[in-house]
């Protein structure tokens, strides 16, 4: 499958990632990507940037080395109501908003509580993609999550990092989520979740899950620039 964008990438601003914007853009250009999204963690993450960081992303050009740059956030869910760690005013100014449950940010809970928290997150009209829903640290009712993604028009992420170097034990959950996404016709976003420039655009293991379950390009957000832009445009309609 041909991927044209990587929509989940961290810079040194996240506090636990190790490459600059220029290094990331160069790596993306070298790998033939047409678009990347800079999605540093919101301020609730230890070591993460202050909220002011996300208001000043306008300083970054919209294109570097021929690669289109989306400027956004991987917002942290901070309570069971799905509240995020950026206010709506700042979320509204982002090109793209990812949201997910993270240790030290989201409250731990039962499967039912975690499921409710993730679904409440999807109800937020600014959220474009729910990230690493297969994380075993926050077990959820996976079918309920995928059904909610279909209902609220939110993309579900298949996170390559979860399947390789982080969030151990994610594979069976991501495998099931991919199966359910095919069943319910939910748009999938395949990401590197890169924390170092060398891994930008690395999708190999995640792509194997797509192939296993017969997920076609038209169901994958980042196989088309127009598909990405159309998905982001639908956020404005939700807010209205």
How far, in Å, are 24, 109, 110 from residue 196 at the CA level? 8, 31, 33
Q: Residue 138: what pLDDT? A: 98
pLDDT tens profile 123-162? 999 999 999 999 999 999 999 999 999 999 999 999 999 9
User: Which residues contact residue 226 at a Cβ distance below 8 angstroms, ignoring those fewer than 6 apart?
Assistant: none
User: Residues of the chain with pLDDT > 70: what percent?
Assistant: 98
Q: Which long-range contacts (CB under 8 A, 24 or more apart) does 113-117 make?
A: 113/80, 114/138, 114/139, 114/140, 115/140, 115/141, 115/144, 115/145, 116/80, 117/77, 117/79, 117/80, 117/81, 117/82
Work out the pLDDT band at 235, boundaries 50, 70, 90.
Answer: confident
pLDDT at 237 over 80: no
Q: What integer best gives the mean pLDDT of the chain?
A: 97
pLDDT tens profile 84-98? 999 999 999 999 999
DSSP string covering 115-127: HHHHHHHHHSTT-
pLDDT at 240 over 80: no
pLDDT at 20 over 80: yes
Work out the pLDDT band at 234, boundaries 50, 70, 90.
Answer: confident
The CA angle 98-50-59, to the nearest 5 degrees, is 75
Work out the pLDDT band at 238, boundaries 50, 70, 90.
Answer: low
Rounded mean pLDDT, 48-64: 97
Domain with 206, as residue range(s), is 5-239
Work out the pLDDT band at 184, boundaries 50, 70, 90.
Answer: very high
CATH number for the domain spanning 111: value is: 3.20.20.140
Q: Residue 239: what pLDDT? A: 59
Q: Please give the residue that has the higher pLDDT: either 132 or 234.
A: 132
Number of domains comprising the chain: 1
Which token pair is 157? 């992420």
Which pTM value belongs to this model?
A: 0.97
Which helix (DSSP H) or strand (DSSP E) does residue 9 occupy? Answer: strand 5-9
β-bridge mates for residue 6, sequence order? 36
Q: Residue 172: what pLDDT? A: 98
How, if at all, do strands 67-76 and 63-64 pair?
antiparallel
């Amino acid at each position: 499958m041909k991927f044209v964008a990587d929509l989940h990438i961290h810079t040194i601003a996240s506090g636990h990632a190790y490459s600059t914007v220029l290094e990331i853009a160069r790596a993306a250009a070298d790998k033939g990507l047409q678009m990347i999204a800079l999605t540093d963690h919101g301020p609730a993450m230890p070591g993460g940037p202050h909220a002011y960081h996300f208001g000043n992303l306008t300083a970054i050009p919209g294109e570097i080395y021929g690669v289109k740059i989306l400027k956004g956030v991987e917002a942290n869910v901070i309570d069971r109501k799905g509240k995020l760690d950026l206010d709506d005013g700042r979320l509204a100014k982002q090109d793209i908003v990812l949201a997910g449950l993270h240790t030290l940010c989201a409250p731990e809970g039962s499967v039912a509580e975690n499921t409710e928290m993730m679904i409440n997150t999807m109800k937020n009209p600014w959220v474009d993609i729910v990230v690493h829903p297969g994380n075993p640290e926050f077990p959820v009712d996976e079918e309920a999550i995928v059904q909610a993604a279909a209902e609220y028009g939110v993309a579900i992420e298949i996170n390559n990092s979860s399947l390789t170097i982080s969030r151990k034990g994610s594979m069976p959950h991501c495998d099931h989520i991919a199966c359910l996404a095919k069943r319910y016709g939910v748009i999938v976003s395949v990401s590197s979740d890169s924390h170092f420039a060398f891994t930008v655009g690395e999708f190999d293991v995640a792509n194997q899950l797509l192939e296993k379950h017969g997920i076609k390009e038209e169901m994958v957000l980042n196989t088309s620039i127009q598909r990405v832009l159309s998905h982001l445009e639908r956020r404005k309609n939700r807010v209205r």
